[in-house]
Structures are given as structure tokens and as C-alpha cells.
Amino acid sequence: MATHRLSLDDDLEEPYALFAIHSAAEAYKMAYLINSHLGIYLTRRRKDKEVIKDQMSQIYPTYTFEHPVQDLTFVLLANNCKIALSDSHLNSGELFALGATPKSKTAYLLPEFKKVDYFLKLDSELNALQNKTIATQLNAIKEVISSYEVPLNQVKTINHLIIN
């Protein structure tokens, strides 16, 4: 009797391109600048990207735009956020710990890219020329220090880029 085997390949992932953006501008201003230079309409999501790590909630500003004609979705994600440390996370052995000012630390959406301020994710299959054009348009923004396409094989925490 013949044996039939079914294999589930990992090709179910949607293709996308990821651009790193270095800029000191705030997230809302970066969204506005990208809108004006790329001719799109990024809007803030009602629910930002939330990552729970070490029992602490990290919330990253998220802006999205779905192109009505092309099958393109743009997602702008901040790579860093400030989280306030509660008393349970602080060192309780400190003198005057109760009267101390609240402390905070910076958390990163993709910790392997700590120097990157924003990521622009394009959920579509574009060719290399189109990706280079987008990188050039991003670099044309005065407030952007640099922008480049990130090779996806360098991203270790790829699940943090999933937007529901």
C-alpha cells in the first residue's frame, strides 16, 4: 500500500521589505514626513504594537497605510520606547528608595538594531529597484539621518514585526 505524505512548507509567510530609519524626529512627525515624501497617508493605529517582556508591557507607536489600488501595506514602527520601572523592579536595598524619583529604561522592538529609530515595513513583494527608490525617497527627507533596507536574515526577533 502506498504511503502519502503531506509537507507544510514555510512559504506561507507574506513577502515584505524592511527599511531602517535613523532620525531624532518624534513618531508623529516622522509619519507626516514620510506621508509627504512618499505620497501615502500613514495614520496612527487605535492600538499600538504591544510586546510583553519580563512581565512588563512595552508599547511602540504604530502607523499604517493600505494602498487602495496596489496590494501594498505600509507600517511605520518606532524601535524604542521608555518604560517606567515599578518599585518591584527597582533595587529595594537602596537608601531612600521609596522617596526616589521614578526610573525608566529604554526598550527596543528589535534589540539587535538598537541604533535604529524607526522601521518602515512594506507588506508586499517589490523588486530591488522599487526598494531602492523607496530608500532614496526616505533619504531625501531632511530630518532622516540615514535609511537603508534591512536584510531579513539579520532580524532575530521577526515575530515583533507582526501587526494584528
Mean pLDDT of 14-39: 92
Structural domain includes residue 70: yes
Q: Domain containing 132 — which CATH number? A: 3.30.310
Structural domain includes residue 11: no
Mean pLDDT of 146-159: 89
Structural domain includes residue 97: no
User: Which residues span the domain enclosing 147?
Assistant: 17-84+103-161
Structural domain includes residue 46: yes
Q: What is the distance of C-alpha 132 from the center of its chain?
A: 19
Q: Minimal CA–CA distance to 76: which of 129, 147, 130?
A: 147
Mean pLDDT of 14-20: 86
pLDDT in tens, 31-69: 999 999 999 999 999 998 888 887 788 899 999 999 878
Q: How many domains does the chain have?
A: 1
